[in-house]
């Protein structure tokens, strides 16, 4: 596809559809965390059992996302970006609606797994399609719009869950997804993928990422870059009530995790725009990521060193932390730019889901060291290790801003 045929306008129909799809994706992810306690209480599960089963449900969903990331990524390279976009939104929309109809715990486990599988493909396939139909000078703007609008789904999830019953909140998410299917009728397939179908080349070979030292190195670096995002969400935000209390906060009535999520994601939405624009301004993904990681390190230090502050001040800090933590848009763009067309969907879909999967390892390390270091000390140490790995990955990563994406991997 010549540059003249590529799209320059970041507000084209493909970007809008991908952005709205990611909006519904994040809405469902965050909605489950917000209504988890209420929904389990409706099933007669309270107290410590509520917490334990809630974590099992979350892990069940994460397993679905890990498997779904591989499934949709491979299908995206084998069958096409467009067909997978339809499949993912249909699956998690129906699963969302069914979540609002559960009557027992077994159904909840099954449906959270199915929802996880469906949710896994939305961002990666959307970013892949946007990256391939836009010019190299403009694709960063397109992926920024996708990420910024998508992250706004977390804020919408908070307000919908606050205004409606938990079952109705699930119905809203499912309805939004089904409505989006109609809009997707106007989206066209990537020209790069269309040309690749006629080439004699292996497509969507997930195992090929592990058979080449170079490809494996790029794949691991892509994952390590994004881990701080879900460290912040999985540790600092999710355990904000415990970290806040341990840090000596002067909390009136206690911290609400749902509010912590909302304020953090408002900051992340702003940060997604700023980091994306910065990468375009500097004409460098790596420089933008270095800036974001540096500011994130500083804001995390501010958070963990704060003493005797109020709940509102702590929410404000989480908002500030969210701004540099919004580098998710540039991170996913980098993943899509590192590999050829025959592996691009596989990588761009699996990487963010593998990053989400590392949350289990990060939170386990946080819990393990909390006994000896205390909650705040453990959070700070685990965060420091995560940040160092991310800095190293960015430092050793190939710059991809000017990279032409119309090429194939030999595998």
Q: Is the pLDDT of residue 197 over 80?
A: no
The CA distances from residue 263 to 177, 227, 256, 286, in Å, are: 25, 20, 11, 27
Average pLDDT in the 348-365 region?
91
pLDDT value for 83: 86
| Residue range(s) defining the domain that contains residue 39 | 13-185+203-396
Average pLDDT in the 301-308 region?
90
Q: What whole-number distance in Å separates Cα of residue 373 and Cα of residue 304?
A: 13
Phi/psi for 310 (5° steps) reads -85, 170
Of 344 and 256, the one with more pLDDT? 344
DSSP state letters, 171-228: HHHHHHHHHHHHHGGG----HHHHHHTTS----S-GGGGTT-HHHHHHHHHHHHHHHH
Q: Is the pLDDT of residue 19 over 60?
A: yes
208 within a domain of the structure (yes/no) = yes
pLDDT value for 249: 67
106 within a domain of the structure (yes/no) = yes
Per-residue confidence band for 253, with pLDDT thresholds at 50, 70 and 90 = low
With pLDDT > 90 as the criterion, what percentage of the chain qualifies? 61
Q: State the CATH number of the domain containing residue 331.
A: 1.20.1250.20
pLDDT value for 396: 97
Which of 265, 237, 68, 264 is closest to 153 using CA atoms?
A: 265
Q: What whole-number distance in Å separates Cα of residue 213 and Cα of residue 380?
A: 33
The CA distances from residue 9 to 60, 64, 127, 344, in Å, are: 39, 35, 15, 22
Per-residue confidence band for 238, with pLDDT thresholds at 50, 70 and 90 = confident
pLDDT value for 36: 86
411 within a domain of the structure (yes/no) = no
pLDDT value for 29: 84
Of 250 and 302, the one with more pLDDT? 302
Q: Do the beta carbons of residue 208 and residue 347 sit within 8 Å?
A: no
406 within a domain of the structure (yes/no) = no
195 within a domain of the structure (yes/no) = no
The string of pLDDT tens digits covering residues 90-101 is 999 999 999 999
403 within a domain of the structure (yes/no) = no
Q: Is the pLDDT of residue 252 over 50?
A: yes
The string of pLDDT tens digits covering residues 273-290 is 999 999 999 999 999 999
Residue 98: CB partners within 8 Å, gap ≥ 6? 107, 111, 114, 174
- Tokens 């797994």 correspond to what residue? 113
Average pLDDT in the 147-172 region?
92
Q: What is the maximum span of the chain, computed from C-alpha positions, in angstroms?
A: 65
409 within a domain of the structure (yes/no) = no
Q: Do the beta carbons of residue 132 and residue 404 sit within 8 Å?
A: no
Sign of the alpha-carbon dihedral angle for 229, 233, 239, 244: positive
Q: Is the pLDDT of residue 1 over 80?
A: no
pLDDT value for 2: 41
Average pLDDT in the 303-331 region?
92
The string of pLDDT tens digits covering residues 29-60 is 888 888 988 999 999 999 889 878 987 898 89
The string of pLDDT tens digits covering residues 62-86 is 889 999 999 999 999 999 898 888 8
Residues 126-143, buried b or exposed e (16+ Cβ, 10 A)? bbbbbbbbbbbebbbbbb
Most confident of 32-41, 51-60, 189-198, 242-251: 32-41
323 within a domain of the structure (yes/no) = yes
Hey, what are 339's tokens?
A: 């590999």
Per-residue confidence band for 114, with pLDDT thresholds at 50, 70 and 90 = very high
Q: How many domains does the chain have?
A: 1
The string of pLDDT tens digits covering residues 328-348 is 989 999 999 999 999 999 999
pLDDT value for 215: 95
Of 375 and 74, the one with more pLDDT? 74
Sign of the alpha-carbon dihedral angle for 401, 403, 407, 410: negative
């Amino acid at each position: 596809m010549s540059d003249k045929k590529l799209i320059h306008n970041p507000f084209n129909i493909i970007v809008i559809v991908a952005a709205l799809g990611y909006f519904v994706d994040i809405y469902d992810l965050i909605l489950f965390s917000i209504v988890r306690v209420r929904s389990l209480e409706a099933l007669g599960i309270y107290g410590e059992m509520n917490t334990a089963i809630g974590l099992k449900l979350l892990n069940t969903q994460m397993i679905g996302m890990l498997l779904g990331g591989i499934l949709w990524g491979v299908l995206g390279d084998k069958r096409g970006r467009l067909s997978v976009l339809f499949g993912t939104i249909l699956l998690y929309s129906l699963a969302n609606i069914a979540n609002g109809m559960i009557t027992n715990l077994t159904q909840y486990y099954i449906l959270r797994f199915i929802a996880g599988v469906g949710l896994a493909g939305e961002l990666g396939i959307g970013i892949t399609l946007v990256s391939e139909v836009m010019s190299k000078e403009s694709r960063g703007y397109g992926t920024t719009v996708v990420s910024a609008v998508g992250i706004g789904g977390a804020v919408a999830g908070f307000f919908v869950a606050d205004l409606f019953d938990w079952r109705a909140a699930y119905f809203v998410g499912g309805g939004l997804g089904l409505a989006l299917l109609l809009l997707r009728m106007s989206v066209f397939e990537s020209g790069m993928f269309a040309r690749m179908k006629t080439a004699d080349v292996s497509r969507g070979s997930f195992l090929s990422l592990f058979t080449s030292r170079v490809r494996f190195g790029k794949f691991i670096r892509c994952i390590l870059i994004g881990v701080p995002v879900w460290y912040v969400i999985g540790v600092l935000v999710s355990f904000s009530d415990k970290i806040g209390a341990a840090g000596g906060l002067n909390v009136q009535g206690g911290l609400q995790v749902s509010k912590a999520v909302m304020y953090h994601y408002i900051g992340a939405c702003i940060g997604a725009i700023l980091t994306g624009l910065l990468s375009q301004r500097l004409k460098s993904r790596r420089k933008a990521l270095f800036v974001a990681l540096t500011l994130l390190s500083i804001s995390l230090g501010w958070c963990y060193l704060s003493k005797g502050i109020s709940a509102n001040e702590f929410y404000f800090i989480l908002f500030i932390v969210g701004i540099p933590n919004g580098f998710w848009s540039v991170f996913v763009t980098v993943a899509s730019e590192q590999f050829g067309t025959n592996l691009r969907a596989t990588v761009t879909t699996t990487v963010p889901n593998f990053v989400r999967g590392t949350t289990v390892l990060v939170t386990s390390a946080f819990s393990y060291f909390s006994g000896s270091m205390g909650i705040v000390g453990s959070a700070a140490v685990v965060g420091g290790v995560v940040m160092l790995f991310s800095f190293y990955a960015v430092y050793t990563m190939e710059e991809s801003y000017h990279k032409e994406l119309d090429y194939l991997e030999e595998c």
